[in-house]
Chains A and B, each alone.
Chain A
Amino acid sequence: MTVWIAIGLTVAGCYLLKLAGLLVPAGTLERPLVQRLSALLPVALLAALTAQQTFSTDSALVLDARGAGIAAAALALVLRAPLLVVVAAAVAVTAGVRALGG
């Protein structure tokens, strides 16, 4: 049930955000502070989510094979690899390190 509540809230929230952009008169969202903040929010959230999902299990900080996988993904990004290669590198390296007992 908890999951369905979360899904419902996310569906409504994300849809209203998309709709707001199309319906709201230009200018309302044009304030520089609002724009700046909305550009930076995803940066903060994505950075925190990447770190958490790489270095934690439940509420404990851990360093395991995922760390190696994300390092491989980061390297692929630096080399300007497409998303496909980036994700594949992360998955393959994580699986590889686990297979080796890491």
Chain B
Amino acid sequence: MGVAVGLSGFAFGVTSAGAGLDLLQTCALSLLVFTGASQFALVGALAAGGNPFTAAAGAFFLGTRNAFYGLRLSQLLALPRSVRPFAAHWVIDETAAVALAQPGRRAARIGFTVTGLTLYVLWNLTTLLGVLGAEAIGDTEAWGLDAAGPAVFLALLAPMLRGTTERAVAAIAVVLGLGFLPVLPAGVPVLAAALAAPLVLWFRGRGAGHAQEDGTGRREEKGTDR
């Protein structure tokens, strides 16, 4: 896991430098945001010429899953209130995965802390190396490094595509994202693509009045059946 995060950090540094951010800006992102997909999304949107608000909005929506990790970790770790604002910074995919896999509270706390600390140091070091590396090798595109960002996104996406709902959302999002690209200002097409999520939920809610699967909340959003 460390190697994978290290490589992503390096890729982020390179991508960010390629997007025109300077060393300080790139390192500030890794130090203060510390959630990879959001960082990639932000520099991608800025590289495409997006305004700061739409660029940040995409990054924000990608970070929503962290709120749900926090919700589960909150009960599991039962941290004192004073520690929570500091622990919050480390609530990411990897720390949540490790902590939730532990058998008890003590092991979960250790797992969370060790993973958080290790990845935080590694992520920031490799980001720095990535920026310096990008400056050293010059043309990042000749080395194919502009493909690293989308490859990381794809790798994050792949395990999520288990059900038909997820696949439908992804397919519609691709169509919306590419379809709106030539006509809407930079950064906005991604936000338009985010609409695929409520859209698919709404259609499923309509199509399956009897459906149970895992959603009862669907029923409240529509007034009448059929």
Contacts and interface: CB of A to CB of B under 8 A. Distances in A.
B164 interface: no
A35 B176 CA distance: 23
A92 B3 CA distance: 18
A52 B63 contact: no
A33 B175 CA distance: 24
B87 A22 contact: yes
Contacts of A10: 29, 33, 38-39, 42, 55-56, 59-60
A9 B46 CA distance: 13
B18 to A, nearest CB: 11
A99 B143 CA distance: 9
Given A46-B37, A49-B190, A59-B182, A32 B217 contact: yes
Interface in A36-84: 36-56, 58-61, 65-66, 69-70, 73-74, 77, 82-84
Interface in B158-181: 158, 160-161, 165-166, 169-174, 176-178, 181
A4 B24 CA distance: 10
A22 B150 contact: no
Contacts of B37: 42, 46
A71 to B, nearest CB: 10
A81 B55 CA distance: 31
A73 B198 CA distance: 28
Contact of B166 (A43, A89, A95): A43
- What's the dominant secondary structure at chain B's contact region? helix
Interface residues of B, number: 107
Given A33-B215, A61-B178, A87-B148, A74 B154 contact: yes
B77 to A, nearest CB: 8
A11 B141 CA distance: 28
Contact of B68 (A13, A32, A38, A49): A38
Question: Which 7 pairs show the lowest CB-CB distances between chains A and B?
Answer: A21-B70, A48-B177, A95-B144, A33-B217, A94-B144, A48-B193, A90-B151
Given A42-B37, A48-B178, A73-B154, 16 more contacts: A9-B56, A18-B69, A19-B85, A21-B68, A21-B70, A22-B74, A32-B216, A42-B65, A47-B169, A47-B173, A48-B173, A51-B174, A65-B147, A69-B144, A83-B152, A92-B144
Interface of A: 2-7, 9-11, 13-15, 17-24, 26, 29-56, 58-61, 65-66, 69-70, 73-74, 77, 82-84, 86-96, 98-99
6 contacts: A13-B59, A18-B67, A21-B91, A24-B67, A49-B153, A93-B147
